[in-house]
Structure 1
Amino acid sequence: MSSFFDLPPLPQVPVAGSDNTFPVRRVFCVGRNYAAHAAEMGVEVDREAPFYFTKTPWAICHTGSTIPYPLETENYHYEMEFVVAIGKPAFRVSIDNAMDAVFGYACGLDMTRRDLQLAARAKQRPWDLGKDVEDSAVIAPISPAADFAIADQRIALSVNGEVKQDAHLTDLIWSVPEIIAHLSRFYHLQPGDLIYTGTPAGVGPVVAGDVIEGTIDGLAPVTLTLGAAE
């Protein structure tokens, strides 16, 4: 049998120092993984286990893009994130072995229709309309794991040159190996999966014309420009 129509190919992310690209299979996001961000959102940190939401691969947006202000929101927020790219299968892996699955790391933005997210949260509904937004998983080129060692790197974000978020990777509540080990209990992680590991405090709204830049020491920066609404 043949299909009635063809689907677009999976998004591809550039890899620093390579002509090959990283095809995106799935996008997992960790919620409330910085204590100060949880506090500013008015919620307690769940220290028993991390929790997640997902975005479709077609939410991927390349750094340097200009996108229209998204549909049906009046409160669109930036969230700067450290992104982990999975390059090997991982299923029920231990914390000690979790890093073997890592392909590399990147700067990313988890853009959020905050008004829709909070409305859903208040009604105890899923966050999909607030989080799984077209062009909302912004990502810079991936640096191979061999070229980057997780330590006390600064993670920061500015809007129009003004610093809004400023923290360190050591501020993560759940570390990268802990996240991979935990997530692999619920999913067969595979090459092409991305994990956005959470955002520091300082999230806030952007409007048409704003330019966002996110940085993590040692990684390629991620930038995004907001255009006029459609």
Structure 2
Amino acid sequence: MKLLRYGDAGAEKPGMLDADGTLRDLSGVVSDIAGDVLSDEGLAKLRDIDPASLPKVDGNPRLGPCVGNIGKFCCIGLNYSDHAAETGAAIPEHPILFMKANSAIVGPNDMVMKPRGSTHTDWEVELGVVIGKAAKYVSKEDALDYVAGYCVINDVSERHYQSQLTGQWTKGKSCDTFGPTGPWLVTRDEVADPQALAMYLDVNGKRMQTGNTQTMIFTVAEIIEHLSGLFTLQPGDVISTGTPPGVGMGIKPTPVYLEKGDVMELGIDGLGVQRQEVGQDA
């Protein structure tokens, strides 16, 4: 299934895409794509619904983040061997974890706003993992059973804030609008192998990132095992699993960063496409 949320920011309704790509309204069935709806039992109930019985949604409404009421937004850094190489960083021994503030989360096609005075805003296409049930001390062999589904995330980053403002990466990762999520949550039964997904990101129509989740240093299952050994992962928590090469920071000899009016388009096989125009906070 492809589950999504549509409507004005802060007032999104739950929806489902049918086999023809028609948006169907789920608000008569569930209140949101969140919490218990993401459990195996909750998803099974939705799977039993005939999409044709649901009201069609007319027009082309705004898409919100595909998960509502996200608890934790966990991010993994330097998790692609080819991206680590382009940055000159050593391969990490354990998953590098940082958190992105939930206030950064926006819809997949919402505008991305450069912070006031920013000159180093960068792009990062990433595979998002949505947790469906509480996970504590989970083994990697069982880890994928705790996944509700997958989505596209743009882990937008302000590199100066990230590395020069003293402190953790969170400073450069948590600016408002720096977490476009969606367009939809694709349930795990429709993703045969999360370690075999091609991904890309274009800026102004030019291909900047081309990658595949097969080059992850730590797999989705290994990440869940590691994180669930540190704290409980709850339904609706999101893990952004790292980015392949081609970020602006890694361009030689001179890095390239986003400017007002730039357009990013990014996607992952089977998980949909995002598109964001870049604005500038006054």
Q: Normalised by the size of structure 1, how large is the TM-score?
A: 0.88
Q: Which residue of 2 aligns with 1:49?
A: 94
**Residue in structure 2 matching 1:210, options 262, 270, 277:** 262
Which residues of 2 match residues 124-135 of structure 1 at below 5 A? 125-135=167-177
**Residue in structure 2 matching 1:154, options 198, 205, 208:** 198
Identity across matched positions, percent: 33
Q: Which residue of 2 aligns with 1:112?
A: 157
Which residues of 2 match residues 55-134 of structure 1 at below 5 A? 55-120=100-165, 125-134=167-176
Q: Which residue of 2 aligns with 1:5?
A: none
In structure 1, stretches of 5+ residues that fail to align are 1-8
Shift, 1:229, TM fit? 3.2
- Between the aligned partners of 1:10 and 1:180, the Cα distance in structure 2 is 29
Please tell me whether residue 38 in structure 1 is matched to residue 90 in structure 2: no
**Residue in structure 2 matching 1:145, options 167, 188, 198:** 188
Amino acid at match of 1:35: S
Contact 1:34 1:171 in 2 (8 A): yes
- Between the aligned partners of 2:14 and 2:155, the Cα distance in structure 1 is 18
**Residue in structure 2 matching 1:179, options 223, 238, 254:** 223
- Between the aligned partners of 2:97 and 2:15, the Cα distance in structure 1 is 25
- Between the aligned partners of 1:166 and 1:14, the Cα distance in structure 2 is 32
How has the CA–CA distance of structure 1 residues 68 and 51 changed in structure 2, closer, same or farther, with 3 Å as cutoff? closer
- Higher mean alpha-carbon deviation, 68-77 vs 135-144, is at 68-77
Moved over 4 A (4+): 9-16
More strand as a share of residues? 1
How has the CA–CA distance of structure 1 residues 138 and 161 changed in structure 2, closer, same or farther, with 3 Å as cutoff? same
Shift, 1:133, TM fit? 1.3
- Between the aligned partners of 2:220 and 2:243, the Cα distance in structure 1 is 14
How has the CA–CA distance of structure 1 residues 129 and 72 changed in structure 2, closer, same or farther, with 3 Å as cutoff? farther
Q: Which residue of 1 aligns with 2:281?
A: 229
- Between the aligned partners of 2:244 and 2:11, the Cα distance in structure 1 is 27
How has the CA–CA distance of structure 1 residues 15 and 94 changed in structure 2, closer, same or farther, with 3 Å as cutoff? farther
- Between the aligned partners of 2:195 and 2:273, the Cα distance in structure 1 is 17
**Aligned pairs, number:** 218
Contact 1:33 1:174 in 2 (8 A): yes
In structure 2, stretches of 5+ residues that fail to align are 1-8, 18-23, 27-31, 34-66, 249-256
How has the CA–CA distance of structure 1 residues 10 and 99 changed in structure 2, closer, same or farther, with 3 Å as cutoff? farther
Q: Normalised by the size of structure 2, how large is the TM-score?
A: 0.72
Shift, 1:68, TM fit? 2.8
How has the CA–CA distance of structure 1 residues 83 and 133 changed in structure 2, closer, same or farther, with 3 Å as cutoff? same
